[in-house]
Structure 1
Amino acid sequence: MTRRLTALALALVLALSLTGCWEAEPEPDDFWGDELPPEEQETSRREPAQISDFTLPYLSGQTFDPVTCIDGVQQTVGALLYEPLFTLDNSFAPQPVLCEHSSCDAQALTWTFALRSAVFSDGTALTANDVLAAYRRAAESARYGARFANVASMKAQDAHTLIVTLTQANGSFPALLDIPIVKAGTENDLVPLGTGPYVYTTAADGAALTVNPHWQGSSLPLERIALAAVKDNDTALSRFASRSVHFLCLDPTGTGARTVGGAVESTDVPTAAMQYLGFNLSRTPLNDAAVRRAMSGVIDRGTLVSSLLSGHGTAAQLPIAPQDADYPKTYEYRTTAEEYAAALETAGVTAARPRSLTLLVNEENAFKRAVAESLCAQLTTAALTVTVRELPWGEYAAALEAGSFDLYLGEVRLTADWDAGVLLDAGGALNYGGFVSEQLSGLNDAFLLGGNASAERYVKGFAEETPFAPLLFKSKTVLTPSGLVDGMTPTASDPFYGFADWRFHLSGSES
């Protein structure tokens, strides 16, 4: 979804997230300000920005290594320097990039990846050893380590073939491999070598990205992309506001905010960042699956997204992003107020025997506070009172670890195979509520193996147990000056997805 806004105050992102995109925390009233009348929006769309060079911000002196670089602008630039085996499209389906062909055994435990013929920017050929070295480093990193939790071994069978053996079957394993590859041995360089469409260069007129002479892909819309050094993300945002940089990828509902005026074009990109309502199953009536199911069904997720997140997300009742082609929408359901009251009454919560619960939320994020307040209002009845308890991040995390909560508002970035084991498996790192069900964990494992039947069994079992209540999947936002570029198709995996088809309108030229 693209929005075009003229002369508006735009609340934007400053703080970095742990998941590779910036987080922001504007006040939860109107993120975009007052919308322009349709005819004014259309007029602004037709007026190209007076920009002669497309410019990206970058952190001078900081590594571009995709495994260890700082979240934010370095990753955005890196998307033009490095390529993964697979990238994810807007439905989170893996699309081959450096992989020519992939296959797995019948149990989906051993995967074979045949590499396409590709060349690094120094003219040397990509090999399976380069991919292996990148994955071994990624497996030890905070950014990508969780993706390799079920990897038993990795080896280069020959120069063009990588073999990965898993401890747990996963028919969607390629969806985890949108990890950029650098040439082995250059990872400690400030700008490791890649196979991407551009290379980092410096000249008298400054740093820039220029076309990789060994690039084997499609023709590119720009021969040169200027780079502007910034010292931090505040500076990047300021330079965007002054139109000296022209592209930002950010989280409009994270922690921290500033205001940007002028004509801005905004494109929302679906992500795998899921917000959910967590339950402590040691507390009455939350130990009753029927109550948890009724609570999930009574929540108006559409209002949470449209009113409190200003549309920057997608409502979801199941732990799979709705953009996924296999999202089982038929298993969504609504609970009436009467059904909710009946479930509470069966669990012993009545007007004569009322109950109070508290919902924990991280106080630093205004969007999350607003969502928590709305959830409390929606879940409160004559018999049940739900109130918000705001805590600083450290105290919030400690309370979850100690189990000192009734309900909490959580957020997790799932992988694109939609493995929710971290939340529902016994011993899962985010299973704060103490949910234990070998049956549902087994259904999740079967779901990862693949097949429509196993997916339906999993979501049916999930809806019956409701170990936690998914609320929505957040969107991140790509910002450009209005009128600068047409045909943008950024994805959560690649902000420059389909870059060959983008059309730039630069002053003095047409590209």
Structure 2
Amino acid sequence: MRKSLKIIALILSFVILFSSCFRKEPGTEDASSETKIGGETKRPAQQVDRVRLPFSLEDSLNPFFLKGVRNISLVPLMFDSLYVIDEKYMPVPSVALEAVEEGLNIKVILKEGITFSDSSLLTSADVVYSFHQARLSPSYKTQLSAFSSCEAAGRYEVRFALKQPTLSPLSLLDFPIVKQNTADQSEQVPKGSGRYIYRAENGEYLLEPNPSYRENNDIARTIRLIPIGESVSPVFILETGELDACFDDLSSGAVRRADAAQTGAVLNNLVYLGVNSKNYVLSDKAVRNALSRTILRSDISTRVYSGNALPAQAPVNPAKQSYSYFADNIKEGIEVWEELGYNQFTSGGVRRGGRGVLSFTLICPSENQFKVQLAKSVAGSLKEAGIKITVRELTTQQYKEALNAGNYDLYIGETRLLNNMDLSEFFKADGALSFGIDPESPIAKAYFDYVGGTISESVFCRQFVEESPFIPLVFRMGVLYYSRGIDKEVKPVGASLNVYANIHEWNAD
């Protein structure tokens, strides 16, 4: 019965896949009504000579209009940026030659001689145009809201002004650069200066090596884009042999098992335990710190996320800098509780002491299984220390209402941090993530001292862990699945979803 259901599901996947091919491809007015993707049989693992990647015809290929991960992950292949973010979440010059930071002003000098795919020069006017397009786009508007202006100051010089002191502002300058006036409409595929050029012809969708690329591009091979309906998982199609690689950011709340090779890409998604400091017991920073020290983050990584998460004690991505202040050990956590005087128990076996009984309600959104299992994992760790956690699974709407009303003690939260690890939304009085946090607290002040350069990141992180206004648990990863026929090392970069970072090497001779 199970085998029959699996066959039916696979057939339905192909039906939906084929239906997506009857849409017009981005950037063209006329297209063939189908692409030849269903005639091949499943292949054994063999050397891949033309990599096939998924993309969506239902989404745009204009980087300032697209919305889905499937097409966003293609952007770094077609477009350059002033800076790229490496695997350690550090900004590396790309189109930028150098930058000079003076207070709230940043002067960026561009490399000369870079050309777009039509051989026209990339200049400051293109950067300014791209900045203003990006500032209106769903993918880049948040990070670029830190800037008050962007102006050309010569053919190869761009000047940015910040609204206020900002952490690592160069890390925010990874927006795609396109040729001026080629990206005004969602159906346009703008001119870029990246390693590949998009082309749609005779029902085929290709990324072809850019002959004008600034670096040696001889080893790059044409990439074939396979249109797949938004409701179909590319992982299923990969297993049939119709794709060679695909990326899953695991936002669905589940890790898909696949008959394929796979590797992780560290995302900047911070998963944390939110704390309501208005609760009398939890208003004590020592209690919050003890809670943090009693949670097994290694278990969360392995059992909840199947190894696709990095344990974190501080609110900085461990890929950038790993901070460790205590052992991942419940026994040591219990010792902390004993030292705090929580060494008595109720008749039900719940620990109690100085401020009362250690019994709390933890809310989580029921639609995401990662978060449900995470809540149960946290409750299990704390139960071993005699702390009672009542998990309430709520619909997304109920969850938001409970947060806004303060009807919780603890909550499971997740946010995708900007590349500069900005935490201001936690500590601003009106911050979108400030639930349960006192904006007048010492740690809020310490954060803005850190942003202003008065204290270092390490000093802030140590104070953060001591006060634990919220409790970092892990930074989540995504998974790049790929054919075992790719015999080169695959090196995805989670930052900016540059997950096909070295794809030009995959099928090289």
**Does the residue aligned with 1:152 lie in a helix, a strand or coil?**
strand
The structure whose Rg is larger is 2
276, 279, 298: which one pairs with 2:275?
279
1:457 to 437, 456, 459: 459
Contact 1:150/1:167, CA 8 A, preserved across alignment: yes
- 1:31 corresponds in structure 2 to none
The question of 1:303 aligning with 2:299 is answered yes
1:496 corresponds, among 471, 483, 500, to 500
95-104 or 114-123: which moved more? Answer: 114-123
Task: Measure, in 2, the Cα distance between the counterparts of 1:222 and 1:289.
Answer: 55
Three-state SS of the structure 2 residue aligned to 1:79 is helix
Tell me the equivalent position of 1:85: 82
Q: How far did 1:95 drift?
A: 1.2
5 Å matches for 1:123-272? 123-170=119-166, 172-187=168-183, 188=185, 189-204=187-202, 206-234=204-232, 236-252=234-250, 254-255=252-253, 260=258, 262=259, 264-272=260-268
1:37-78 deviation digits (Å, cap 9, x = unpaired): xxxxxxxxxx95354431112222642111221312211222
Distance apart, 1:450 and its partner CA? 5.4
Number of the residue aligned with 2:14: none
**TM-score, reference length from structure 1:** 0.82
The answer on whether the counterparts of 1:285 and 1:347 sit within 8 Å (CA) in structure 2 is no
Q: Distance in 2 between matches of 1:317 and 1:143?
A: 28
Counterpart position of 1:379: 382
Provide the secondary structure at the position in 1 that maps to 2:402: helix
| Residue segments in structure 2 that go unaligned for 5+ positions in a row | 1-43, 346-350
SS of corresponding position for 2:77: coil
Q: Which moved more, 1:223-232 or 1:350-359?
A: 350-359
Please state whether the residue corresponding to 1:69 is helix, strand or coil. coil
Partner of 2:477: 475
User: Is it true that 1:115 corresponds to 2:110 in the alignment?
Assistant: yes
Q: Deviations over 1:6-59 (max 9, x none)?
A: xxxxxxxxxxxxxxxxxxxxxxxxxxxxxxxxxxxxxxxxx9535443111222
Match of 1:49 in 2: 46
- Do the aligned partners of residues 339 and 479 (structure 1) sit closer, same or farther apart at CA in structure 2, a change above 3 Å counting? same
For residue 417 of structure 2, the aligned residue among 411, 414, 427 is 414
Instruction: For 1:204 and 1:336, locate their aligned partners in 2 and report how far apart those are by CA, in whole Å.
Output: 64
Cα 1:215–1:320 change in 2 (3 A) is same
Alignment deviations for residues 447-482 of structure 1 (CA, whole Å, 9 cap, x no partner): 33559x522321122122211000010111111111
Residue of structure 2 equivalent to 1:17: none
State the identity as a percent: 25
Report the Cα distance in structure 2 between the residues aligned to 1:177 and 1:221, rounded to whole angstroms: 28
1:63 equivalent in alignment to 2:60: yes
Is 1:253–1:309's contact at 8 Å kept on the other side of the alignment?
Answer: no
Q: Which has the higher contact order (CA 8 A, sep 6+)?
A: 1
Letter in 2 for 1:243: G
Extract structure 1 runs of 4+ deviating beyond 6 A: 331-334, 346-349
Name the CA shift for 1:351/1:163 in 2 (closer, same or farther; >3 Å): closer
Tell whether the 8 Å contact from 1:269 to 1:475 is kept in structure 2 after alignment.
yes
In 2: Cα distance, 1:332 partner to 1:95 partner: 34
SS at match of 1:114: strand
Pair 1:383–1:208, CA change in 2 (3 A): closer
Aligned length: 453
Q: 1:172 touches 1:449 (CA, 8 Å); kept in 2? A: no
Code of the residue aligned with 2:499 in structure 1: it is P
CA distance in 2, matches of 1:167, 1:252: 34
**CA separation of 1:350 and 1:93: change in aligned 2, threshold 3 A:** same
Contact 1:489 1:498 in 2 (8 A): yes
Give the deviation of 1:402 after TM superposition: 1.9
